[in-house]
Chains A and B, each alone.
Chain A
Amino acid sequence: MSMSVQGAIAANRFGLGAKPGEIEAASVNPRTWLKQQLQAIEFNDGLASSSELEIALAEYQRDRKRAKKMADVKNPSVQFGKSAQKMSIAVAKRAIDSNNSLNWRLLDFFSNHFSVSSLGRAMVALAPTLEREAIAPNLDQRFEQMLLSVVRHPAMLIYLNNERSFGPNSLAGKRGRGLNENLAREILELHTLGVNAGYGQGDVVELAKALSGWSVAKPIKEKATGFVFREQGHEPGTRTLLGKRYKQRAGPLGERQAEAMLRDLANHPATAQHLCFKLARHFVADEPSADLQAKLTDAWLKSQGNIRRVMEALIDADESWQTPPQKFKTPREFVISTARGVALPVFNGKKIWSGLATLGQQPFKSGSPAGYSDVGSDWRGASALMTRVEWSASIANQAKFLASTMSEQAIMRQCLGDTVSERTAQSVLRAESREQALTLLLMSPEFLRR
């Protein structure tokens, strides 16, 4: 395989789609080009933190309770929906502009792995803060670190109802509060071991009991925000998870019981297999080869779940570079790669947001803790494809005169490099108008897949 084909694969399969000049840069040494992109992501964009949002939510809640009529309620200091939209758009824009888009793809992957949905006012506000605060800073860390950050984050604790889960024999439990297994179940089934990994209902309950008391501070009453461990809600006693005993710790140390369990879960071989399968599925193929999975799992186990090492193994594996491409782009990938490739001012925040919504992948709207599907057949419906045609045509219609300063040939080369087929090249260059040419390019088999 020529270096220029590898360069195009690097930019389109591993990255979020080639930007102008990127394939050329990647072609010099595609593997090195990718590896140097791996790093933590920081957000210094001044958008609301979960802490600020929790305070605004609490104040709004308090004002509503006090007011006799809805009309008397002050508008919340933060427009929760708008602030959430701003945050998601900011992430997409950074991804579009980034020269390290492999890193941003990885953020999308883990954000979807730890999916939260914006259901209800609190989650509308908090959902987009999880990836910023608990995932982005840990992209170059061990998975254990990321898992602990996520499970302690208010968005995850509230989304899966753990902030009100109390042990039946705790002080709070004796006052009638109960256990909620939701978070514990999803940690085992989705975040770590994976379904059918040999755990049982007993394990779910044991983890839930250990997690009881993992809660979120009350901003007004407690003058604090974020994670709080409530001793009085923690189920006392020794717990057994997957046959291993975790002893009771006194007082505030009770938090360490679940923490130890989470560390063990993060480093469990089933977790390595589960996550490596998902990574291989995300990057390479809906049904990734056993060899590729084995290479990733090996790297995972050797490095105790160091995400950078696993990604390096993925980049090194020959299986990752196979042609023809196996992955059908999700709507998010399609929108972002279009924006990166065509690089037009039409891609303002509104356009990005409406593109994601129209094509069916609005941020934090999967409605399931399992997140959006990562399998082509779930995105490749007949009417979904028609919607993509229409969306591409509408982008092309808006873009045509901006694009006209550049030849179709050049746009095609900067998006697909040497991976463009003769058939597609001919169709694009023989299109009856510039807008049709751009529509055909975006809807070509090579651009729809990666």
Chain B
Amino acid sequence: MKRRELCRLAGVSMAALSLPALMLAKDAEQGSPKVVWVLLRGALDPLHTLVPTFDPHLAKLRPTLYKAIKQDVLALSDGYALHPSLVNLHAWYQAKELLPVVAVSSGYSSRSHFDGQDFLEAGLGHIDHESGWLGRAVQAKNKRALAIARATPISLRSDATVNTWYPSRLQDASMATYESLLKLYEQDEQLSTLLQNGLDLQQQANSMQSTQRQGRFVDLARSCASLMVGPEGNDCAMLELGGWDTHKGQANRLARGLNELDKGLAVLKEGLGSDWQNTVVIVGTEFGRTAKENGTGGTDHGTASALFFAGGAINGGRVLGQWPGLSERALFQKRDLRPTSNMYSWLATVLGEHWQMSQQELAQVFPSATTLANSDGLNLVSSRSQSNSIRVI
């Protein structure tokens, strides 16, 4: 695929979205439909998360990375498997509450984190710092939205008011930021010693208490649930989690990061209680990573990544999206997983059904969304009792 084609992926009109009630599960419960958008900043490696064990090229491309998890991956269907850390997500899959999608892209064609995130969050097919797809949906449906952040992320920006909430004590820097700083200080003995000592001290202090820095996302997810639960709670929230830019030591870092993500989502489910049944959780990232592992046990910036839908309202238990293959010919620019569908299409479909959005409304949310390949019979969201008629078109 040429860059031109990739751009085209983001350019097909909403009219092409002709999907029968795509993703929602069984009956709509009494509770109001809730949405949680989890943005993984830093580009999650899809092949290490949603593992295509059936692809003969995987072991060759990733001799050490694949080996690190091969024995322990959690099988899904059709030869796909989840990373061993994702135990809760695996259980949800079996309960048909998890729906992974392979090889998606926002249509962003370069490999800069900043621009890639801005692009994905805007949902417009171009970067706009003042308007995000979830914000426009919230505005269209008059929903109450909450960002678990200190400032409203682009995703939730629109003319509508969005609340932000973040714990007041200073605990903003992620483990990934500390790791980057340690690296930055490698040639500065004074600062690297100080930072290492500081981290050691903090670890000691944390092991005396029970909370850990790594549990930060878990705490945020718990708070997020309590701010959403019940009819008076928020309809929509956004969580962010960094630490995915795994240029080196990926096996360990993802084992830790995915564990934190998995635990956090489990805590979110627990906190939502019966509202879980009317909740859709969306987990996405700005782009993927190179198919081949690099020389430092990691992967570099790539193109297509994976997208996950979870929640009681999701008609899950299957892996969707078209697998492009990992042969050299199949790879995008001979290095990245090739995108076969546009993220916005999946987001539009799920959001449209879950919040019962009209075509007009969806066109405002995703003006440039593309068609889904072979969209027949996907039923991503469990069909609501009242009808199957909530179509994207």
Contacts of B197 in A (CB 8 A): 382
A427 pairs with B183, CB closer than 8 A:
yes
Q: Pick the residue among B151, B180, B201, B243 that contacts A397 (CB under 8 A).
A: B151
Chain B interface residue count, CB cutoff 8 Å, equals: 45
A-B contact pairs, 19 of them (CB 8 A): A358-B170, A383-B201, A383-B202, A389-B173, A393-B172, A394-B150, A397-B172, A398-B150, A404-B129, A404-B154, A423-B187, A430-B245, A431-B180, A433-B42, A433-B117, A436-B242, A445-B185, A445-B188, A448-B191
Residue A391 interfacial (CB < 8 Å): yes
Report yes or no: B172 in contact with A394, Cβ–Cβ below 8 A.
yes
Are A436 and B176 closer than 8 Å at their CB atoms? yes
CB-based contact B117/A440 at 8 Å = no
Task: Please tell me if the beta carbons of A389 and B181 are within 8 angstroms of each other in the complex.
Answer: yes
Contacts of B188 in A (CB 8 A): 445
Judge whether A432 and B198 touch: CB under 8 Å: no
B380 at interface by CB-CB < 8 Å: no
Interface size class of A (residues with CB under 8 A): 35 or more
Q: Contact: B129 with A401, CB < 8 Å?
A: yes
- The proximity string for B residues 170-212 relative to A, scoring 1 for CB distances below 8 Å and 0 otherwise, is 1111101110110111111011001101110110000000000
The interface of chain A, by Cβ under 8 A from chain B, is: 346, 358, 380-383, 385-387, 389-394, 396-402, 404-405, 408, 423-424, 427, 430-434, 436-437, 439-440, 443-445, 448
B118 within 8 A of A: yes
Q: Say what secondary structure dominates the interface of chain A.
A: helix
Q: Which chain B residues border A400 with CB–CB below 8 Å?
A: 151, 153
Q: Which residues of B contact A (CB under 8 A)?
A: 41-43, 113-114, 117-118, 129, 149-154, 157, 166, 170-174, 176-178, 180-181, 183-188, 190-191, 194-195, 197-199, 201-202, 242-245
Q: Are B170 and A387 in contact (CB under 8 A)?
A: yes
B151 and A432: CB pair below 8 A?
A: no
Q: How far is the CB of A441 from the nearest CB of chain B, in Å?
A: 10
Contact of B184 among A382, A385, A390, A444 (CB under 8 A): A444
Write out the residue numbers on chain B whose beta carbons fall within 8 Å of the beta carbon of A402.
151
Residue in A399, A400, A430, A432 whose Cβ sees the most chain B Cβ within 10 Å: A432
A386 touching B198, Cβ below 8 Å: yes
Besides A397-B150, A432-B242, A445-B188, 8 other A-B contacts (C-beta < 8 A): A381-B194, A396-B172, A400-B151, A427-B183, A431-B180, A432-B41, A434-B117, A445-B185
Contacting pair B129 A432 (CB below 8 A) = no
Residues of A within 8 A of B157 (CB): 401
Which of A401, A430, A439 counts the most chain B CB atoms within 10 A?
A: A401
4 closest Cβ contacts across the A-B interface? Answer: A432-B42, A393-B172, A432-B245, A382-B197
